Structure 1
């Protein structure tokens, strides 16, 4: 199986329909073998005896009946073989998408979206062609070539057959040699297409930035570079492909030339009849297709192998974060979090993002985290969500190492509002209930009211059925943040994490949201991350991070009295507020 080893189970499960399809294809090929022989018999009767109108009708009936049977069986092999190929395409795309869902965030930071899209489209289509058209052509190439040669040798002349096959070894050498080159060049074509897809996707995603900086011409130039590279790689493939077909056709033409000369002499000398000569030429014409099919098969299989190799490179990736052996037997989490001597470095980073973190959070406690940009706040949250693996024994929940807690339980127990408030291109209601809680509209309304976004939604013509566009493009930053808050709350999580999730709303709305959330916070472990002290001052405790270390910890009243980063930020924000009020 080589590159296609991952498809063994699919082929095994569908071996019956593949077998039926191949049987129908063989029936078509067998039917086609009778037609030249029938034409030869008719030719001999015409040349020797003359064929009356009434004698012609049975032969015509046989030809029509045979053609109908061939058409029926041709339909069947297309349904079975090509239908299987389509199901294979579906299964492989599902397998790839499912695997991508399991991979860790660090994988997506090192792989471009456009390249992954090319895997899911172009590469899978090439695999489908290899195991659809490729199988058909392989059967044709093997069975028809063998059967036609037997018919030519046994029913007409082995000498004429041998002469006709003189160009065959050279033709096979051309097919095999070109197939290897085609494999390499097609792989380069797929990679160039992936780069083109990635550049296009990136431009469309950032179109507002492009227009805001008047960089349309610059982007067009950047696009032209990858577009030209894509054309260049395709032209390399087209040049070898364009040379391949005329060469194979020329070698096939040599066979006809040999048959025309040598076979014509055999007819004149009476070694074979005119009908045999007609049948032989028909068989030789039929033989051209399976010989050419070898070329097609080599091309399609090589393309499929190149694409399957690219897909395998993704499927071979092992998720950095996954359920590990000896999982704790838990049904729910109460929200007790213990962080002990946590030091964490991102893969490939020269220095730790967090160093020597020690923190104890009791169930139901609200903890605020403050720090400058790059101080490690989001990194700490990523570790709590286990988007990255912390060192063993450094983070425990309810006394269990976080790496021993089932991922599904961990992440369903945490309501998370990230900095990047990503919304999906569907309705507001479906975005709010993204966790698939099957919430009623009344529940959705309740949580959007808590997030202070309900009145905004009511102003939309379609209200909760409003489509938000890709990444929530039709909404303001504040509206997206508040919908993301409602999305986290509707899960009814035991641990709630808000990562700078009020940065895009004004202070008045922020105060209203925090007031609404007081009742939600009761009985839950809450972690609030913010640059604004006004967001954090009601927390039970506030942790101050700087350069990956905890530099201060205490209540708001305690920290404003202590010299340090918290007091510095507090005084600066107080001054900014006073200046704003004067303005």
Structure 2
């Protein structure tokens, strides 16, 4: 009876501690899984801004929390098991000692001593099993309760240093030499013998009808896909020989598809440059036309953005991507329909800010909009995966059919 009371008391006390720790353990596990899923689904953000280490540091911090939560839980669980084992050994030892004392003094037979030992073991085992079962049932009920609460709540009502790419004003900043690209599983090439070159500091607009291959050029340039034939050179060096981190540092890339991490606004900006100060972050937001965003958020820069930026509009998401770009210092700036969700006035102002901020850098803008086409020194018109025409804006508007239709439509 004494053993049963002590055993169940220990299980009750330690069980309550385990329930509290189990809640923290489950929350830590959910957080680590959510962070892992979020990081994997948005790995392209780290690729674009060379933020692998910064992204990994977040996951490491969450794993540390998970490990500490597990350590505390299993430490208490081990403590409970040790106390139960000591109680078991102590009670068995006392019972066996009393029986042995009786045999030594002739008060009991050896058979009686063996019988006492057997009865003790037979009695203690079910009590121990009952105590462990009650602990498991209690924890399972707690877990089920948390699950039901969650269900009710959703019902309606090692760092490598980047190699240095040699910069030369005598070499084209970007050079495509007979590049062809076919996507995995596709039968029709996206690019067919593309060749062109862009000088350092030149501002070039790439345009053409939808599906012509404009974005494929950018994906090949940023090494999201490797060309089947031909070569792409950055300041005279084949990009296939450039470390991906170096390429991410040298080429600042903003696409129409903006990837937002389910984290704070600050984190979503610092992934572009981890050492950026709050002042620099606010300045980049101002340049991107989001100067009024931070004051409107409940926790400012520490506001958690929704899953994939669900709390932001399409225009805000695109300007957030541009703010990331303003935090960086690339040698080549690529904007692939990165202002498509903006109105023409905002687009014009943001693109002009890009030209001012990255003055002297090589800038490539992919766009359909006539208002953005005039920003380039040179236009490259792409059609059916090939370069159809290239030249100055005024030259092309009179001789290129696609550009004439676009500009005529805008004028009307």
1:469 pairs with 2:313: no
Query: What is the aligned partner in structure 1 of residue 202 from structure 2?
Result: 365
CA deviation after TM superposition for structure 1 residue 284, in Å: 4.8
Cα deviation 1:294-319 (Å, max 9, x = unaligned) = xxxxxxxxxxxxxxxxxxxxxxxxxx
Distance 1:563 1:364, change over 3 A: closer
Query: What is the aligned partner in structure 2 of residue 330 from structure 1?
Result: 164
How many residue pairs match? The answer is 328
Cα deviation 1:156-201 (Å, max 9, x = unaligned) = xxxxxxxxxxxxxxxxxxxxxxxxxxxxxxxxxxxxxxxxxxxxxx
Query: What is the aligned partner in structure 1 of residue 121 from structure 2?
Result: 283
CA deviation after TM superposition for structure 1 residue 484, in Å: 1.7
CA deviation after TM superposition for structure 1 residue 496, in Å: 0.9
8 Å Cα contact 1:468/1:475 also seen in 2:
no
**Mind listing any 5+ residue stretches in structure 1 that lack a counterpart?**
1-38, 40-59, 106-119, 141-146, 152-269, 293-322, 576-583
Distance 1:475 1:495, change over 3 A: same
Cα deviation 1:525-568 (Å, max 9, x = unaligned) = 11101111221222122222223222222221121111422222
1:489 aligns with one of 323, 326, 333:
326
Query: What is the aligned partner in structure 1 of residue 111 from structure 2?
Result: 272
Give the 3-state SS of the residue equivalent to 1:417 in structure 2: strand
Distance 1:332 1:464, change over 3 A: farther
Distance 1:412 1:428, change over 3 A: same
Larger Rg: 1
CA deviation after TM superposition for structure 1 residue 410, in Å: 1.1
Aligned ranges for residues 212-223 of structure 1 at < 5 Å?
A: none
8 Å Cα contact 1:345/1:352 also seen in 2:
yes
Distance 1:485 1:103 in 2: 17
Q: Of Structure 1 and Structure 2, which has the larger fraction of its residues in helix? A: 1
1:403 pairs with 2:240: yes
8 Å Cα contact 2:297/2:303 also seen in 1:
no
8 Å Cα contact 2:205/2:380 also seen in 1:
yes
Cα deviation 1:492-548 (Å, max 9, x = unaligned) = 211111111222222222222233333224221111011112212221222222232
8 Å Cα contact 2:207/2:368 also seen in 1:
yes
Distance 1:287 1:476, change over 3 A: closer
Distance 1:99 1:392, change over 3 A: farther
2:356 aligns with one of 519, 539, 564:
519
Query: What is the aligned partner in structure 2 of residue 423 from structure 1?
Result: 260
Give the 3-state SS of the residue equivalent to 1:465 in structure 2: helix
User: Which TM-score applies when normalising by structure 2?
Assistant: 0.62
Query: What is the aligned partner in structure 2 of residue 504 from structure 1?
Result: 341
8 Å Cα contact 1:432/1:487 also seen in 2:
yes
Distance 2:266 2:386 in 1: 40
Q: Of Structure 1 and Structure 2, which has the larger fraction of its residues in strand? A: 2
1:532 aligns with one of 356, 365, 369:
369
Distance 1:505 1:542, change over 3 A: same
User: Which TM-score applies when normalising by structure 1?
Assistant: 0.45
1:460 aligns with one of 273, 287, 296:
296
8 Å Cα contact 1:332/1:413 also seen in 2:
no
Distance 2:255 2:402 in 1: 24
